[in-house]
Amino acid sequence: MFAVIKTGGKQYRVTDGDVIVVEKLAGEPGSSIKFDQILMLGGSGETQTVGTPLIANATVTGEVLEQSRADKIIVFKKKRRQGYKRKAGHRQDQTVLRIVDINGSGKSAAKAAAPKEADAPAKDDASAEAAAPAKKKAAAATKAKAPAKKKSAAASKAKAPKSED
């Protein structure tokens, strides 16, 4: 079984036992981290579940192996013929994780909310019918208004007083 999780602004496809490197997360080595932003679940021979945008009640658990820093990146700025040069370095903090468990209910958030939306219009049919004539009157009132006339740019320049110095 695999899952697509979202963390640190990136998406990762993970399976049980995978070791991944992600943006820095709070936690000591040996502690457990639970991811609840699951975008997709699937596996070999199983139907794949795609969230809209997330899958409700699905979690992925990971164990922190270490907190480390990435390789150094050199930032060099230069503007030619100006005598401008700047050199700086940067090391990004990162967390190394091992995926321990993928637990998915398989129900997406939109599918769970769909029956509730279907029941709501059935209850409010009477109020919707009463509101329909009011909407028609408002639409007729907006159609009755004449469109505003556009002023030309030449006419506005002619009216502006000229100042000579």
Cis-peptide, bond into residue 29, ω within 30° of zero: no
Read off the tokens for 34: 């639970």
Could you tell me if 77 and 86 are in contact, meaning their C-beta atoms sit under 8 angstroms apart? yes
Structure-token pair, residue 10: 């990136």
Distances (CA, A) of 146 to 122, 140, 141, 142, 150: 39, 12, 11, 9, 12
Query: What residues form DSSP beta bridges with 41?
Result: 3, 49
Residues 103 and 38: their CA atoms lie apart, in Å, by 10
Pairing mode, strands 59-69 and 32-35: antiparallel
Give the pLDDT band of residue 112 (cuts 50, 70, 90).
Answer: very low
Residue 56 contacts residue 105 (beta carbons within 8 Å): yes
Neighbour count for residue 51 (Cβ, 10 Å): 21
Give tens-digit pLDDT for 94-103.
999 999 999 8
Q: What is the pLDDT of residues 60-110, one digit of tens each?
A: 999 999 999 999 999 999 999 999 999 999 999 999 999 999 987 644 444
Strand partners, 4: 13, 40
Which sequence spans correspond to the domains of the chain? 2-106
Model pLDDT for residues 25-54, shown as the tens digit of each residue? 999 999 999 999 999 998 877 788 898 889
Entry pTM: 0.57
Name the DSSP letter for residue 53.
S
Pairing between strand 10-15 and 2-7? antiparallel
| Cα(120)–Cα(124) distance, integer angstroms | 7
